[in-house]
Structure 1
Amino acid sequence: MVSISRSELQILLVEPSDTQRKIISNMLAKEQIGRIETAGSVKDALDKIHAHQPDLVVSAMYFEDGTGLELLTQIKQDSKTQSVSFMLVSSEFRPAKLEEFKQAGVVAILPKPFEPIHLNRAVNATLDLINTEELELELFDIAEVRVLLVDDSRLARNHIRRVLEGMGLEKITEAENGAQALTLLKDFTFDLLVTDYNMPEMDGRELSEFVRFNPDTAHIPIIMVTSEANSAHMANIQQTGVNALCDKPFEPAEVRKMLSTLLGHV
């Protein structure tokens, strides 16, 4: 396997402000992160992405010709570019606005202005996605672990699947909501359930309760993925038998630790 270092990352910085482009470019250079190309609009960014695909897009939220979300969605919906990591840099703080990016598979959201610690964590998450490393378990062959992945967002499922596959998980079945997941749980056997919290028809909490109270599925470890993982009310969710709460964005390093704990012990 060929690994790339932080200095080898190909980065496209998409920012409408000349001043902000210079500030962010200088910070990336100071931290010895990547080879940087810049764009000032959504159209310019897409043209450059298709001409020379970067490893990471670092983007603002608003442009004269569109939004960062539109740029992210177009990248993730195109099979040729969906593996490109996307990092948002924005002063936006409204949860509803940021939730849209989390559901679309953003690798990190940085505040504006951001500190080197924020940048380095986001870059490390990007490198973890690119430089895949199979997870070694004492009790399981990781390639044989059967995973049920449940999320109503296709883009979010794609991102989570990529993280899991990067660790060597190959047998991943997807469901769009809890109701669909129930049907699969009745018909097939799984070793791990990874589920979103907010979903239509049946949410992650209801699904987790069914799994725990059904003798045939009660043993399955459950990872719940939610952008509210660090909020106080989510602590009650673990009373339903959820083994771990994972924040969105779905960071490889955090997920690796969870899987080692959940699957590495009797």
Structure 2
Amino acid sequence: MLEVEHLIVALVEPSHVQAQIIKAALAERGIDQVTVYETGADLFTALAVKLPDLVFSALYLSDMTGTDLVYTLRDTPAWADLPFILISSETNPYYLDPVRQAGTMAILPKPFSQAQLTMALGNTLDFLNAEQLDNDSADDFADLVVLLVDDSSTARRHVRTILEKIGFEKIFEANNGLEAIPLINSQLFDLVFTDYNMPQMDGRALVEYIRKESMQSSVPILMVSSEDNQGRLAAVEAAGVSAICDKPFGTEVVRKLVGQLLANRE
């Protein structure tokens, strides 16, 4: 099993000062295999030779944004599952939500605390070690059927990867709630995993349909969302969602939530 001190890290940071601060914080956690790149292009050149275990990136680079960088990773098959952590002082959801959608282990502020770094590294190790942990786990999700609903193909791929890592093998996908309805009406599911914000039919409307109009009204529904409007989240809970998981989320968080939802159903 991979331990934190053995992580090989690629850090994309144009500021020499910031790079040294981040390297020092990683050294406190025992991580000394850190290579710094000033641009996204420099990172991509290096990735063609050897993959790290984890990529850290600033949001604003000279040749692209951290958002561009993570989407390039996700769109390149050889790099698609690389754990990614954004480090940024940006707080505007307009800039951060696309990174959340792409699949990130964490979004760390500048400056970040050791506690925040520890959480981010823990999520990374959970992701990297998930298949081994699955072999040791009492959970057996291989025979369960899950429906994954999200309008972002990149987000679906990230969630699908996590579900597969924790043992799911039978995964159906839909682009939004409207596309999910025919599947709901033709296939029995053990779990529905849905985003909140989607066109045509959002997560709340899908939850309401499943609970009130479908033949499997008791199926556990796990909603994943970066939504921070408490009124909207309260409405989703009232509609009958079983649990809400924030983006970004850890692999073990998903494993535990799914385990609890399925246990409660039994």
SS of the counterpart of 1:11? strand
Q: What CA distance in whole angstroms lies between the structure 2 residues aligned with 1:4 and 1:230? A: 37
Q: What CA distance in whole angstroms lies between the structure 1 residues aligned with 2:92 and 2:53? A: 28
SS of the counterpart of 2:10? strand
Alignment equivalent of 1:136, drawn from 135, 138, 145: 138
Shift of 1:250: 2.8
Q: TM-score, normalised by structure 2?
A: 0.94
Judge conservation of contact 2:176–2:200 (CA < 8 Å) in 1.
yes
Shift of 1:230: 7.7
Provide the residue aligned with 2:216 in structure 1.
217
Provide the residue aligned with 2:256 in structure 1.
257
Amino acid in structure 2 at the alignment position of 1:180: E
* Unpaired stretches in structure 2, ≥5 consecutive residues: none
Provide the residue aligned with 2:51 in structure 1.
53
* RMSD value, Cα: 1.3
Provide the residue aligned with 2:64 in structure 1.
66
Shift of 1:215: 4.9
Provide the residue aligned with 2:84 in structure 1.
86
SS of the counterpart of 1:62? coil
Provide the residue aligned with 2:165 in structure 1.
166
Any residues of structure 2 matched to 1:1-266 within 5 Å, and which? Answer: 3-33=1-31, 35-132=33-130, 133-134=133-134, 135-137=137-139, 141-228=140-227, 231=230, 233-265=232-264, 266=266
For the structure 1 residues 189 and 34, does the alpha-carbon distance in structure 2 shift closer, same or farther, using more than 3 Å as the test?
farther
Q: What CA distance in whole angstroms lies between the structure 1 residues aligned with 2:31 and 2:230? A: 32
Q: TM-score, normalised by structure 1?
A: 0.94
Q: What CA distance in whole angstroms lies between the structure 1 residues aligned with 2:211 and 2:32? A: 46
Q: What CA distance in whole angstroms lies between the structure 1 residues aligned with 2:190 and 2:197? A: 22
Shift of 1:104: 1.1
SS of the counterpart of 2:48? helix
Identity of aligned residues (%): 42
* Unpaired stretches in structure 1, ≥5 consecutive residues: none
Judge conservation of contact 1:6–1:34 (CA < 8 Å) in 2.
no
Q: What CA distance in whole angstroms lies between the structure 1 residues aligned with 2:146 and 2:185? A: 14
Q: How many residues get paired? A: 261
Q: What CA distance in whole angstroms lies between the structure 2 residues aligned with 1:229 and 1:145? A: 31
Judge conservation of contact 1:230–1:247 (CA < 8 Å) in 2.
no
Amino acid in structure 1 at the alignment position of 2:176: N
For the structure 1 residues 229 and 194, does the alpha-carbon distance in structure 2 shift closer, same or farther, using more than 3 Å as the test?
farther
Q: What CA distance in whole angstroms lies between the structure 2 residues aligned with 1:136 and 1:174? A: 26
Shift of 1:50: 1.7
Give per-residue Cα distances to partners, 1:182-212, cap 9 Å, x unaligned.
0111121111000000000100000000000
Judge conservation of contact 1:179–1:202 (CA < 8 Å) in 2.
yes
Shift of 1:136: 2.5
Q: What CA distance in whole angstroms lies between the structure 1 residues aligned with 2:257 and 2:89? A: 31
Q: What CA distance in whole angstroms lies between the structure 1 residues aligned with 2:52 and 2:218? A: 42
Judge conservation of contact 2:4–2:29 (CA < 8 Å) in 1.
no
SS of the counterpart of 1:216? coil
Judge conservation of contact 2:185–2:214 (CA < 8 Å) in 1.
no
Q: What CA distance in whole angstroms lies between the structure 1 residues aligned with 2:248 and 2:93? A: 13
| Range 256-265 or range 39-48, more displaced | 256-265
Amino acid in structure 2 at the alignment position of 1:86: F
Shift of 1:229: 5.7
SS of the counterpart of 1:264? helix
Q: What CA distance in whole angstroms lies between the structure 1 residues aligned with 2:4 and 2:70? A: 22
